[in-house]
Chains A and B, each alone.
Chain A
Amino acid sequence: MDSVQSVVLLVEDNESHALLTIRGLSQQNIDHKIIHVTDGQAALDYLYRRGVYTNRRLSPRPDLVLLDLRLPKIDGLDVLQEIKNDEDLRSIPVVVLTSSMAEPDIVRAYMYHVNSYLVKSLDYDEFRREMNDVARYWLTWNINPL
C-alpha cells in the first residue's frame, strides 16, 4: 500500500508565522506536505483547482486546511464560509489558526461550521506543543472520508 501523504494547506499571510507553523508541524514524524498560500483568493483557487492550481497532481486535495483569519484579498472567515458551503469541499477539515481571540470571530467561525478554532500561542514552547498536537491529532488520529 502506498503511504498516503497528508496534505496540509496552510493559508497564512505572515511569512514568519508560516515558518513557525511549518516548523512546528514538521517536528512530528508524520509524512506530510505543506502547501502555503498567502491570501484567501489563492486558497480558494487552490481548493477549486483554478488559476495556477489546475494541475491535480501538483495541487492535491488537502487533508487539512489551516486557516488564518486576517488575510489579504478575501478574509479568512469568508474563505471558511465558502468552503463549508460547497458540497464537495465541506468535508475537508478546516482548522482556524489565528492570533485573534475576538468572540465575534469565534462565533462566526463556528457558525460557518469550522472544525476547530485555535489561537496561536505567544509562548514559543506552547506554540510548538500546540503544533505537535495539531499534527498528531488531525493528521494521525483524525480519519477523513476518502
Chain B
Amino acid sequence: MFPKKSPFFLLWVLPLLVIIILLSSSFRMWKETQDLSFDLLRSVSKNYAEQIKTRLELFLFERRKDLNHLASLKEKYSLPQFLDVFKTDASGIVSRDKNYLAISYLDSSANVLVSTDFDTINDSISPINKLNLDSLLETLSADTEMILTTVNTSENRLLLFMLRPVFSTADKQNVFSGAVIASMQVENLLKGIVTASIHKTNYVQIYIGDTLLYENEFKQSNQQDQFSEAARSQVSFYIMQRKFLISVFPPLNGLLDKLIRQNNLRFITNAIASIIASWLLALALFVSYRLRITTSELARSEERYRHLAENASDMIIEQAIPQGTYEYVSPAAKRLTGYNPSDFYNTPFLFEKILIPEDQERYRIQWQNTLEGKTPQTSEFSIIHKSGEQRWLNQRNSLILKNGIVVAVEGILTDVTEQKKAALEREMLIRELETKNRDLERFTYIISHELKTPLITIKGFLGYLEDEAFKGDFSGLHQDILRILSATETMSHLLNDLAVLNRIGHTATEKRNVKIKDIVQKCIGYFSRQIKEKSIRVMISEKLPEVRAYPGELFELYKNLLDNSIKFTENQKSPVIEIGVKQVDKEQVLFVKDNGRGFESKYSDRIFGLFNKLDAGTTGTGAGLAMAKKIIEHHGGWIRAESEGPGKGATISFTIPQ
C-alpha cells in the first residue's frame, strides 16, 4: 500500500526546501556580484588613483629637482654671487616651466630676497611665514622639505608652495639662510595631471592634509552617494613631509549603475525562476503520486477484470460499432460455441453465421437496433455449436460510450441450454399431462355413459316384465328376457374391454424380439372356426418382420384387427383378409387389409374413438380400434385407417418403431 503520510511531506516540504535553497543561493550570488562589482570598480579606481599619484609624484619630483638645483647654488657661490645666479636660474626655470608662478629665496625671517615674480604672491606668503617657518626651524635639517597650500583670497586661487631650505647651520639657533619656495597654481597644475591620467568621467579629489587641492566638477546623481563610500578608492602618500590624499570615484553614471542593475535583474530572475521551479517540482511530485495511485489502481482493476473475463463461465463479447468486428472475445467462447476467440477475430459476424436459421433474421434486426443505440437488455438466441449440437444462449447487452457516442456493444452470454431443454421438456410434459387428463375425463365420461346404457335397458325391460307378469301377458316374456340378458352381456363385454384397455401400457413384461408371423398364426388359430365358417381367405406375407415389442399387446392388437376384418367381411362373397408389410419412405408399415364393408373416409378418425361404432347394428363394443390405437401408441408408432368407401374394404396401417 502506498504510505499515506510521506507524499504529503514530500509534496510540501520538498518544494519549500528547494525554494529556500535556490533563493538563498540567488541572494548570495547577488551579493557576491554586488561586492565583485564594487571590488571591480574599486580596483579600477585604485588603478586610476595610483596613476594620478605616480604622475603627481613624478611631477613634484621634477619640481624638486629644480629646487635642489637652486639650493645647490649656495654652496658654490658666496651670497652676493649666489643671489644673482639664483635670480637668473630661477627666472629661467619659471619661464621654462609654465607651472611655476614664482620661485623665491627667503631669509630666515621669511623676507623675500629674490623672487621671480614676487608681487603676485606676496600677500599670500606673509601670513604663512611665521607659522610654517617656525615649524620648519624646529625640525630643520638639510633634507627637510615641505609643501604648503594657501588660498589667495583676493584672487581665489589655490597655490602650492614647495619649501626647500638652502642650508642650515648645525647650530639651529642661528640658522637658516633661506628657503626656496615655488608656488604653483594648483588647479591648472593638477587638472593637467588628472586629465592626462584618467578618463574624464571619473571623479577625483586631491587633498594635502585637510585642504582640498583639486576636484573635478561634474554632476552626480543622489543615489550614487550611497555607493560613494564603497566604490571610492583612496590613495594616501607623503611627499615632503605632507600627506597627500587622492580619492577617485568611478563613473557612477555608467558602469557601476549598469552592473548593479544587471545584478538586481539577475537576482529577481533567479528568485522568480526558483519559485517557479519549486512549484513545478511540487506539481510534478503531486501528479506522479496521483498517477502512481491511478496506475496501480488501474493495473489492479485491469487485472481483476481480466481475471474475471478470462475465467468467467459466461462468454464476453465486445463488438465495435458500426463495423461489427470483434474487439474482445473471452476464452469461454470455446466452451459455449466451440469456436476459439481467434475464430471470432478473424470472422466478423461469426456469431450470426452459427445461429440457427430461424433466429438469424431476429439477430439482424437486433443489430440494426443496436446501431441506432437501441439495444435490448436481454435476448435469447439458439446456435449450432461447432460439435453440431444445438445450444441456447442468453445474452445481456450494454452499450459502451465514448464522449457520448456509442462505440461498442458488450454482451455477456450464458449457456442456458440445460434450462431451455428442461423448459421445453416441461412444456412437453405439461401438454402430455393435459392431453392425458382430457383423455381421462373423456374416458370416464364414456365409461359411465356406456355402462348406463345397458342398465337402462335392463331396468326398463324388467319393468315391462313386471307389468306383463302382473297383467298375465307372457307373450313378450322371452324377448324381454333376451334383451335383458343381452344388456348384461354388453356390460360384461364392456368391463372386460375396459380391463384390457387399462392393462395396455402397464405390462409387467419387457419388450422382446417377436416374430410377427408367429403372432398372426396364433390369432388365426384363435379365429379358426369363424374363418372356416365364413370361408375367409387369409393371406399372410412372408416378409413379416421380427420386431422388438410387447408380445402380449401385439397379440391383442392383431386379435382386434382380425376381429374387425372378420366382422366386416361378413356379407362378402369371397372375403379376403391380407396381413402384410410395406416400405413407405424408409418406414416399415404393417397392415391388415380386408375387402369388407369399408367406411366413408370422413370417419377415418372417428373410427378410433372409444366405443364409437360407425354402425349401430354391428356386434362388438366398438373398443377394438381404440385398443389397437392405444397399443400402437404405447409402442411409439402410428395407426391409420383407410377405405375407398363403403363396400370397398378397409386397410388398417401401423408402425412399430424399433
Contacts and interface: CB of A to CB of B under 8 A. Distances in A.
Same complex for A and B? Answer: yes
Interface of A: 13-17, 19-20, 23, 38-39, 70-73, 99-100, 102, 120-125, 127-128
Interface stretch (B77-85, B456-464, B557-565): B456-464
Contacts of B600: 73
Interface stretch (B97-105, B501-509, B613-621): B613-621
B130 interface: no
B520 to A, nearest CB: 29
A16 B452 CA distance: 13
Per CB-CB distance, the 7 closest pairs between chain A and chain B, nearest first, are: A124-B463, A13-B616, A16-B457, A20-B460, A38-B616, A99-B452, A72-B613
A17 B616 contact: no
12 contacts: A13-B616, A14-B616, A15-B616, A19-B483, A23-B464, A99-B453, A100-B452, A120-B452, A120-B456, A124-B460, A125-B463, A127-B463
A39 B486 CA distance: 20
B546 interface: no
Nearest to B483: A16
Contacts, number: 73
A122 B449 CA distance: 12
A120 to B, nearest CB: 5
A98 to B, nearest CB: 8
Contacts of B123: none
Contacts of A100: 445, 449, 452
B349 interface: no
A38 B600 CA distance: 17
B466 to A, nearest CB: 7
Interface in B570-623: 600, 603, 606, 611-617
A124 B462 contact: yes
A86 B453 CA distance: 30
A14 B463 CA distance: 18
Given A16-B457, A123-B463, 9 more contacts: A14-B457, A16-B456, A16-B487, A19-B483, A20-B464, A23-B464, A38-B617, A102-B445, A120-B456
A82 to B, nearest CB: 14
B356 to A, nearest CB: 41
Nearest to B445: A102
A123 B483 CA distance: 17
Interface in B478-495: 483, 486-487
Chain B contact patch, size range? 20 to 34
B573 to A, nearest CB: 23
A106 B389 CA distance: 52
Contacts of B617: 38
B455 interface: yes
B616 A20 contact: no
Contacts of A39: 614-616
B453 A122 contact: no
A108 to B, nearest CB: 13
Nearest to B458: A16
B453 A72 contact: no
Contacts of B486: 16
A97 to B, nearest CB: 11
Nearest to A125: B463
A1 B525 CA distance: 67
A38 B456 CA distance: 17
A39 B613 CA distance: 10
A118 to B, nearest CB: 13
Contact of B460 (A16, A38, A70, A71): A16
Nearest to B486: A16
B449 A17 contact: no
B615 A20 contact: no
Interface in B600-658: 600, 603, 606, 611-617
Contacts of A128: 463
Contact of A70 (B449, B455, B462, B466): B449
A124 B459 contact: yes
Q: Which residue, A14, A73, A121, A125, has most C-beta atoms of chain B within 10 A?
A: A73
B256 to A, nearest CB: 128
Nearest to A124: B463
A73 B614 contact: yes
B456 A127 contact: yes
B162 to A, nearest CB: 165
A52 B612 CA distance: 24
Nearest to B482: A16
Residue from A14, A39, A72 with most neighbouring chain B CB atoms (10 Å): A72
Contacts of A71: 616
B453 A14 contact: yes
Contacts of B466: 124
